[in-house]
Amino acid sequence: MERKLLIERSAEGKQSLVLPSCDVPERPIENYIPKNLLRSQECGLPEISEPEVVRHFVNLSTLNHHVDKDFYPLGSCTMKYNPKINDAVAGNPCLAEVHPFQEESTIQSALKIYHDVEQYLCAITGMKRFTLQPAAGSHGELCGVMIMRAYHMAKGNHKTTVLIPDSAHGTNPSSVHLGGYNAVTVKSTQEGLVDLDDLKAKLSDDVAGFMLTNPNTLGIFEKNVLEISELVHSVDGLMYMDGANMNALLGVVKTEAMNFDITHINLHKTFSTPHGGGGPGSGPIGVVEKLVPYLPVPIIEKKNDTYFLDWDQSESIGKMMGFWGNYSVIVRTWVYIRMLGEKGLKDVSKYAIINANYIRASLKDVYDLPFQSPTMHECVFSGDRQKEHGVRTLDIAKRMLDYGVHAPTIYFPLIVHEALMIEPTETESKESLDHFIGIMRAIADESKNNPGIVTSAPQETPVKRLDEVKANRELNVRW
């Protein structure tokens, strides 16, 4: 179906609107735009050919780094290659041109997609139900904390705190705080795992829950998760899994098997939506059976092959979003899951884990590795050894831009000095991993023998090193 709106100009210079594929009679443009606002002459826009326009935008796009250009190992962010078919399906007018105010009977396909994705996520995690409303991982965390609160209030529990490991993502304490609880930090051990003694010391009847990232932000699987869950459940606390790192767990272990009660999943990371530059996102929340009544309304239900929105949930925390969830991200998730199937999804995690461990093993002789345990989908090095030559992790990250790859996440997690957090994802071939390893080894060598070239990087990028403090304080985003 074509619905282009065209303005045509007759030989006498008269303009009229043409709606090519609709049976609407042509009408003079004055019917749409007041006469005094119409141009009397051509406006003299430059005439540019298609190749010139294409080259302009292609060249612009290469000024920035993106995953279509080269390796993008931004730890914790899961910058995988996103299949283009996702975009083609999400942009299909049959799916893209629906509106949430339409009658339910006219948006059955859209509701089916929401319903299917919920079922897939339940199968992947073992959770009873999901809401697809939250528009980011952090938004999901807030939703999860609100559900935690609703649960404790309904039980008459008086709880004040939520425990969080010191390796947690910064959004965790913010979400806990926004949800009305105090965030209390639990230490990590030398191994990079939750310190069980510190957890026991901080556990009390005041504890509403524990927000744990697994695998944690060091890329390490919390092998004591069952013991942690038992401890937290013993004070009627809820176990919340920050599941942003689900890329490591697909088909490997279910959230339910680790005794978590609530989890969020970042669809834009694990389930493939391009999300550089802060969006778009989707952070669905899954819960065990006893928490289902508190999920946001509406729930998408199916009865006799008809999908509908169920608003009848008296204990619900309410709504988390304007409508029912970030639709285009959810459509991409649907395509991605259906395309890969059960085995394909399991392979995603297997390859993500193998790739991270390959990098870890290939670089540990030249960069410090503060935590020795094998990792899951990412590995965290320290630039401490390079610091002895006056080279900081920030310099290493900038030098990587000269070599044409994106920098990893740096200075996070906070418990690692000069952290370099590398997540290759499953979508990279051995050749591209070897290329990256070669670059990292070259930079380690330069740091020792020619540190100036590292500390003055980048030299090859369109914009050289910024004064980041000034840029933050005096933001100027114009040309």
Ligand X SMILES: *Cc1c(COP(=O)(O)O)cnc(C)c1O
Where do contacts with ligand X occur on this chain (CB under 6 A)?
Answer: 76, 136-138, 169, 171, 213, 217, 242, 244-245, 266, 281, 283
Phi, psi of 368 (to 5 degrees): -70, 140
> Minimum CB separation from ligand X for residue 139, in Å?
7
Ranges assigned E (strand) in 40-188: 129-131, 161-165, 182-186
> Minimum CB separation from ligand X for residue 333, in Å?
14
Q: Which residue is nearest to ligand X (CB)?
A: 137
Q: Which is nearer to ligand X, 76 or 229 (CB)?
A: 76
Q: Which is nearer to ligand X, 171 or 355 (CB)?
A: 171
Q: Yes or no: say if 271 and 295 are a contact pair by the CB < 8 Å rule.
A: no
Distance CA 7, CA 105 (A): 35
Closest to 183 measured CA to CA, from 202, 205, 157:
202
Which residue type sits at 243?
G
Q: Which is nearer to ligand X, 255 or 386 (CB)?
A: 255
Nearest-10 Cα torsion for 79, 84, 89, 92 = 120
Place of tokens 């709880």: 159
Q: Which is nearer to ligand X, 266 or 447 (CB)?
A: 266
Closest to 268 measured CA to CA, from 251, 240, 243:
243
Q: Which is nearer to ligand X, 213 or 382 (CB)?
A: 213
| Count of beta carbons in the 10 Å neighbourhood of residue 224 | 16
Distance CA 465, CA 459 (A): 8
Tokens of 335: 């395509």
> Minimum CB separation from ligand X for residue 274, in Å?
13
Q: What SS3 class is residue 278?
A: coil
Tokens of 316: 């619900």
Q: Which is nearer to ligand X, 130 or 403 (CB)?
A: 130
Distance CA 368, CA 386 (A): 9
> Minimum CB separation from ligand X for residue 166, in Å?
14
Ranges assigned E (strand) in 196-255: 207-213, 238-243
> Minimum CB separation from ligand X for residue 399, in Å?
25
> Minimum CB separation from ligand X for residue 217, in Å?
6
Q: Yes or no: say if 412 and 217 are a contact pair by the CB < 8 Å rule.
A: yes
Q: Residue 231 belongs to what H/E stretch? A: helix 225-233
Q: Residue 393 belongs to what H/E stretch? A: helix 393-402
Q: Which is nearer to ligand X, 266 or 316 (CB)?
A: 266
> Minimum CB separation from ligand X for residue 439, in Å?
24
Q: Which is nearer to ligand X, 217 or 427 (CB)?
A: 217
> Minimum CB separation from ligand X for residue 306, in Å?
33
Q: Residue 171 belongs to what H/E stretch? A: helix 171-178
Q: Which is nearer to ligand X, 260 or 307 (CB)?
A: 260
> Minimum CB separation from ligand X for residue 359, in Å?
18
